Structure 1
Amino acid sequence: MRTLVPSRSARSAAAHSPPDCSRVSEVKVLIVGSRSIPSAFQERRTGSAASAPSLHSTGSEDPLADYVRATSSLVRAVTENRIGRVVFQSSVGAEKRHGVGEIDGLAHTETALDDMGVDVTHLRCGYFFTNLEFQLNALRAGTLQVILPLDHPMAWVAPRDIAEVAATRLLSPTWSGRCVQAVHGPTDLTWRQVAEILSAATGRQINVERIPDSAMRTQLHQAGMTDGLVEAVLGMSTGLRENFVPEQRRTIQTTTPTTLAAWAYDHLRHQIVDAS
């Protein structure tokens, strides 16, 4: 079996896969949208593909157009190499299909894979713990600024846990057709709870405040983002803010073990404390 794995969390799965897996599988770490994807499968095998576009770039003029191009590349790779099973790393909110900023790009990829008729599992993932690493300066200053209600609970998940779910699906022979598997992390958290957890894990007092959309838009522009990317990033919050109910509810099957407290202590604490 060959697997196409073009994401940071999937790279983690490849790095931590059991040694015996190398006897039955070959892991390819590639970038979706790259011209190298089809050529990576010159020796055709019927296998599986795990895909997660990583297109977040301050230089992107049109992130959704980037997703369309990346999806075309992925579809071509699956078609030309007769890959019969795909595990796609998507996001909570993709079920809306439109109106959720950059997540609309993931929805486009979901739809394109569904139309291919291959066996496909979409992993609808919660908010990555690692997104906090984009706010290191704010964390060091002691205040996070967000545009979501501070008491609104949402799923938070460690990318490593997503990788393990993806690897399990890739290697499992028990599923077929179209499947949607949510990956929700251990528990839903509000931003107030997140601030409390980060304060305890890092030993620094971290507060959180809600700011207007316009203030966040200004911050993103000042960070060098293009107009298109600013709106795509904002949409990932504003599109899930009003009366959104995830299609996949939390169950024991969607719950993963790594807590934000443990992750923050292991991965975030030193980035905040050592820089002071």
Structure 2
Amino acid sequence: MIVITAPTSTIGRQLVDDLLDRGAPLRLVTRDASRLAPEMRDRVEVVEGSHGDAAVIDRACTGADAVFWLAPDDGGAPSAETVYVDFTRPACEAFVRHGVRRVVAITALGRGTTLADGAGLVTSSLAMCDLIAASGVAFRAVACPSFMHNLLRHVGAINEQGAFFMTIDPDLKAPVVATRDIAATAACLLLDDTWAGSGQVACLGPEDLSPTGMARIISEVLGREIHYRQIPGPALKARMTGFGMSDSMAQGMVDMFEAKNRGLDNAEPRTAESTTPTTFRQWCEEVLKPATTN
């Protein structure tokens, strides 16, 4: 039995589909079972509730062989430590109590570098992984740079202003990855019962791109000029708090992007194993372009 947390998230939905296609028995932990597609609910077990709740995750881990762990977004939380580390503590106890054999979690790049110190959300995400590894369970962290999917948040600006906005330096080339490839990597790890110990598997996409390079590809795919505009960290923080994010979480976002500008995502060496297949152009054609025309 494989337990999937956050099954309605962008990565979680794709992971569930992938594992069901391979015939894997699944138990999904979700706050709201009605958000699961009816055809999916008929093929899985469901544990309703938050996977940060000790009683919920305890039920979910009973008889489980493997767990996919994804800390949910919580912009209103008092701190990133709360979102990643405190949220995960009950699960670590459940992993040990029920003899879960393998855990796969999604995290950020930066392991083993000083760039990850004081890097906001990244620092806390890596601390979450340390907590899971310390439980003694066999563990793999799927470490990722920025997601291509994040650009979907900019669809309105792309359509209305012909631009997208981030805090990343315009000409800084860095890896960017498709969530479908993250899900595929996680699926392979969850189905493979031969690995042990703790470690990291990086997903770096097939190429490094700067925001300027991304704008060029988006322009070519959409058939109209799209520009990149860099915004300063304080402006990003003000925007996030204006949307209801706590001051601490907004600062965590700013600190993360400042670390990325210092080369956080470039510290991981690219290898054949860490190079995932979906190109940014392919993602733009298959995902971004339809989103901008709906």
Is TM-score (shorter-chain normalized) higher than 0.5? yes
Taking a change above 3 Å as real, the CA distance of residues 144 and 199 of structure 1, as seen in their structure-2 partners, is same
- Structure 2 letter corresponding to 1:223: F
Unaligned runs of 5+ in 2: 31-49
Question: For 1:89-109, what per-residue CA distance to the aligned partner results, in whole angstroms no more than 9, with x for missing partners?
Answer: 111135445311112221111
Are residues 1:124 and 2:126 paired?
no
Q: 1:49 to 1:99 in 2, by over 3 A?
A: same
| Displacement after TM superposition at 1:73 (Å) | 2.5
In structure 2, C-alpha distance between the alignment counterparts of 1:19 and 1:146, rounded to whole Å: 36
| Equivalent AA in structure 2 for residue 123 of structure 1 | V
Aligned length: 269
Q: Which structure 2 residues correspond to residues 15-54 of structure 1 after superposition, within 5 A?
A: 15-17=17-19, 19-22=21-24, 25-30=25-30, 31-35=50-54, 36-42=56-62, 44-45=63-64, 47-54=65-72
* 1:177 match: 197
Specify the code of the residue in structure 1 equivalent to 2:208: D
Code of the residue aligned with 2:87 in structure 1: it is A
Deviation string 1:228-264 (CA, Å, 9 cap, x unpaired) is 1210111120122225465531111011111122222
Is residue 3–residue 67 contact of structure 2 (8 Å, CA) maintained in 1? yes
1:196 to 211, 216, 227: 216
1:224 corresponds to which of 230, 234, 244: 244
Are residues 1:107 and 2:126 paired? yes
1:91 partnered with 2:108: yes
SS class of match (2:186): helix
> What is the RMSD of the two structures over their aligned residues, measured on CA atoms?
2.1
Q: Percent identity?
A: 25
Task: Output the amino acid matched with 1:253.
Answer: E
Distance in 1, Cα, partners of 2:260 & 2:110: 7
Q: Note the C-alpha offset of 1:182.
A: 0.3
* Structure 1, unaligned runs of 5 or more: none
Asked if the contact 1:93/1:100 (under 8 Å) is kept, the reply is: no
Q: Quick check: 1:135 aligned with 2:154?
A: yes
Taking a change above 3 Å as real, the CA distance of residues 241 and 128 of structure 1, as seen in their structure-2 partners, is: same
Aligned residue identity for 2:234 = S
1:72 equivalent in structure 2 = 89
1:253 paired residue among 264, 268, 273: 273
Letter of the structure 2 residue corresponding to residue 75 of structure 1: C
Question: Take 1:17 and 1:223, find their aligned partners in 2: how far apart are those partners?
Answer: 35
Give the structure 2 partner of residue 165 of structure 1: 185
TM-score by length of 1: 0.88
